[in-house]
Amino acid sequence: MRQKMLNKFEELYGDGGDIRFYFAPGRVNLIGEHTDYNGGHVFPCALTLGTYAMVRKRDDRTLRFFSMNFEHREVVESSLDDLHFYKSAGWTNYPKGVLWAFNQKGHPIDAGLDILLFGNIPNGSGLSSSASVEVVVGVMLKDMFGFDVTMIDIALLGQYAENNFNGVNCGIMDQFSIAMGKANHAIFLDTSDLSYKYAPIALDDKKIVITSSNKRRGLGDSKYNERRNECETALKELQTVLNISSLGELTEESFESAKEVIKSPVCVRRARHAVYENQRTIKAVKALEENNIRLFGELMNESHRSLKEDYEVTGVELDTLVESAWNTEGVIGSRMTGAGFGGCTVSIVEESAVDHFIEKVGKEYREAIGYNADFYVVDIGEGAGVVSD
């Protein structure tokens, strides 16, 4: 990969100079969906798929961007003096947003950059290709300009950029898990205070299979912000009778005893998902610690039902994939992952059943939806960093 990117870099930008190489993974969330902006727990892991960046400083303030994923397009030029969101700038708004965020938070960028990106995350799949770009740019800026920022700072700067530059009101989970990932571990993260611990994922004779619905989704175009607003409305109404700062502070029992103050039945359902999903996530990590993978799978299935019925973010494509998985021998658990409205499912499958799973679920999806799903048998990888020689 390095040599292929170097050849392209030199073709586009010329050779010579201090050319550096970086990687940030994608992520999959095993359980804990739409809880991160509700002060709850999440349980993501970094993947070995991700975004590679090759970068060189310039002696002016020009920014040049090129993605090997869009080779039919030309180099996109910008400037450090024009860090503004333009719809026409497309994907380059993500790296530009991080440059803007560093400037906003007191880490000024004083030299232009030639940037080449390549990602092997399926675009629009819900595996956080945008957050992967944000974090790889953050790591790049830390390394190239010597900024005194931690990996958690980089995650927060990526989230700040997505919220305030790109206008997507996302939580911290994606950037955090990409920046802080650890091979063969998931991160049990309390989003209310960013306390976390690494939990070993010992799947033994089982595999994580990600299935892409190939229904493209864009966070900014989806109902993501609408769901967040509905949860905020429910929280404000609950705060009239409860001393809480987030839905993540509630147990199932405390929610059920106070839910009557929420005026809208829709907001009741949204809040119920946030509360119950948070508790499911806590139970799921405990199940893993007790080596009870069957219970973990059952909680994954319950998570999908809640996302379908209470949060209404699944859709026919994701439901078709999950329901087909549930009816396939060797599947421990399956659920949609990510923001929803398209994207991916994550399934835990007996290793001996993976080929049958792909064949059966793929056939049933194609017959129901009319086009193919894509399957990825994935490993849990490290977080973002400099790629060494």
Give CA–CA dist 202/380, Å, rounded.
Answer: 11
Residues designated catalytic:
174
User: 11-40 burial string, b = 16+ CB within 10 Å, else e?
Assistant: eebeeeeebebbbbbbbbbbbbbbbbbbbb
Nearest Cα to Cα of residue 53 among 87, 103, 98: 98
Tell me if 241 sits within 8 A of 230, measured CB to CB: no
Contacts 24+ apart (CB under 8 A), 231-240: 231/34, 231/37, 231/38, 231/267, 231/270, 231/271, 231/274, 233/262, 233/264, 233/267, 234/262, 234/264, 234/267, 234/268, 234/270, 234/271, 235/38, 235/271, 237/261, 237/262, 237/263, 237/267, 238/262, 238/271
Q: How far apart are CA 92 and CA 100, in angstroms?
A: 12
Place of tokens 């949609």: 336
3-class secondary-structure state, position 253: helix
Tell me the DSSP string of 157-217. Answer: HHHHHHHHTS-----SHHHHHHHH--TTEEEEEETTTTEEEEEE---TTEEEEEEE-----
